[in-house]
């Protein structure tokens, strides 16, 4: 699929520098985890990649080409944290998904495509007509994933997509992310504050703190032999049996 490169990306809000010359490569066809604490800038990095946060410096490249944020075709899609805010309460989930389809389709093919996407995330295609209020948090997150896939992206950014979910649902969504990536070969940037979750889904990991990347590499290596003191501190903070 595609490789996503951040080159010296800087984002400021007023006088506050949120991203400070961040350079990061999300390898092609892999899931890269991005960990860090609140305020470290990890969400802003994702928002910058889809054009929701304007850059104050640097560039973001998709397969070596600058990412475009115009027109119907958007190769980078994003799934958000809060399942209760990520779907328009007044649109059926089918319409929400249809909105993200890049091509204008006739009624029949469109319905078929929506059904395909809904099934892809293991929901009953009959539910396409349902309003989001009839869905649980986990089901909404599935719809949000289907919507992201509807845009036929080459890269998907997942921003804390399980942290607002109940523990019992979290596992199912993580399974879905892994399965989806394996089947489609998508490039995924998986943002989470939870190291165990990142260890489970991601082959590569980058650690962010204070708007900078402090460490990156294959997940197993980074977690086994952390090079930076901050990563070591994060690993030491994981609660475990006393």
Residues that bind other proteins (CB under 8 A): 37-39, 47, 50-52, 70-74, 76-78, 80-82, 85-91, 96, 99-100, 102, 136, 144, 147-148, 150-151, 166-172, 174-175, 178, 193, 195-197, 199-200, 223, 233-234, 236-242
Burial level of 225, CB count in 10 A (0-12/13-18/19+)? exposed
- Closer of 40 and 216 to other proteins (Cβ): 40
Query: Shortest Cβ distance from residue 125 to other proteins (Å)?
Result: 18
- Indicate the burial class of 239 (C-beta count within 10 angstroms; 0-12, 13-18, 19 or more): exposed
Task: Work out whether strand 31-35 and strand 204-209 pair parallel, antiparallel, or are unpaired.
Answer: parallel
Q: In what order do the strands lie in the sheet with 155-159?
A: 76-79, 155-159, 187-191, 31-35, 204-209, 212-218
Dig out the tokens for 116 from the structure. Answer: 């395909």
**80 close to 86: Cβ distance less than 8 angstroms:** yes
Minimum CB–partner distance for residue 21 and other proteins (Å):
21
Nearer to other proteins, 8 or 166 (CB): 166
Task: Pick the closer one to other proteins by CB: 23 or 60.
Answer: 60
Decide whether 24 or 145 has the Cβ nearer to other proteins. 145
Q: Which is nearer to other proteins, 64 or 236 (CB)?
A: 236
In the complex, the smallest distance separating the C-beta of residue 100 from other proteins, rounded to whole angstroms, is 4
- Least CB distance to other proteins at residue 241 (A): 5
With contact defined as beta carbons under 8 Å apart, do 190 and 34 qualify? yes
């Amino acid at each position: 699929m595609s490789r996503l490169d951040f080159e010296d990306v800087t984002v400021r809000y007023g006088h506050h520098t949120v991203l400070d010359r961040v350079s990061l490569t999300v390898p092609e066809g892999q899931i890269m985890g991005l960990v860090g604490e609140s305020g470290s800038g990890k969400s802003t990095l994702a928002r910058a990649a889809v054009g929701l946060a304007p850059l104050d410096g640097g560039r973001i490249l998709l397969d070596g080409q600058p990412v475009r944020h115009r027109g119907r075709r958007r190769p980078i899609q994003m799934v958000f944290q809060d399942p209760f805010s990520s779907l328009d309460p007044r649109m059926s989930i089918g319409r929400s998904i249809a909105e993200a389809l890049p091509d204008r389709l006739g009624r029949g093919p469109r319905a078929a495509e929506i059904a395909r996407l809904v099934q892809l995330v293991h929901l009953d295609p009959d539910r396409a007509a349902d309003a989001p209020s009839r869905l649980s948090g986990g089901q909404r997150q599935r719809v949000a994933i289907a919507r992201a896939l509807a845009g036929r992206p080459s890269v998907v950014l997942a921003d804390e997509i399980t942290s607002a979910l109940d523990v019992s649902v979290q596992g199912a969504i993580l399974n879905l992310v892994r399965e989806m990536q394996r089947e489609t070969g998508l490039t995924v940037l998986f943002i989470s504050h939870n190291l165990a979750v990142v260890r489970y889904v991601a082959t590569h990991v980058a650690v962010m703190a204070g708007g900078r990347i402090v460490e990156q590499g294959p997940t197993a290596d980074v977690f086994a032999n952390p090079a930076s003191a901050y990563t070591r501190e994060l690993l030491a903070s994981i609660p475990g049996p006393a």
